[in-house]
Structure 1
């Protein structure tokens, strides 16, 4: 992508990849400029979402961003806390996060995913006023969905490796499978 193409993508909105009744609705912070320019979620080459999704067992093979349309067939979807594209998440305001949180409550209520997985614990904290939230399952439900805060797969999040992220995403996958069992809540 050229710098001009990326600059032109600023503030664009990328359509969600959703369907009713998903097992997990993954919720990014907001689209990157690469995502906005291509129309594919988690499209920046340094983003580790797609390899982590596969390594954690959510998909049978590593999908490319261009294959995002296959996610609903696995019971998965993608949305964002904030819809507008930026070069970095730190360009977003706390008000945008909170407004995005309200939209996310409505969206999950309408779509009824079993789990909402917010990929970025800081985004979750800001959007929902959960200052002490940590990576992992959360107490609250959003729009009826159980909530799990996951590490942000951005390449800028160097604290987490592909392997350590895949382990955390796999913990979510195991919880999803357990809650799908008869008699589980």
Structure 2
């Protein structure tokens, strides 16, 4: 169930094409950290609340997470960072799934308070976008078409509370640390 801890920048293996997108504002203790809503990495556009694959040096399968904050540090060597909130694969939380039916491609979004909810990573740890479709029947969630479901890498509608270590089917903004609607499908 362990997700990576905050890490140092990845060693440069190749030059990645990079460009900042829309600025969000400044913050931090000295108001010198620049926050962003989007960026382009190797020709792919990323925005807040996109779901991404993150490189995983210890396993062959990448981790999956939702981007919840994007910024650049004000230090001499400017570091690009992302804060992510994790999705769990069933095998990562299998001992908490006893007696629960799951879809073959289902993920569980981290919620609650505790270790395993979020992490800060170098922006360059992103390995690509992940197409996760929300199948929640919540009235605020635009329901996916059959075609959208066919193209999905994964689906989700339930959550794993990292503090209580249990599966939950409904959450509020406080328990996920953002507006729940940011988890739902975007209207194209």
TM beyond 0.5: no
Task: Give the structure with the higher percent helix.
Answer: 1
Task: Give the structure with the higher percent strand.
Answer: 2
Higher relative contact order (CA 8 A, sep 6+): 1
Larger radius of gyration: 2
TM-score w.r.t. the length of structure 1 is 0.29
TM-score w.r.t. the length of structure 2 is 0.28
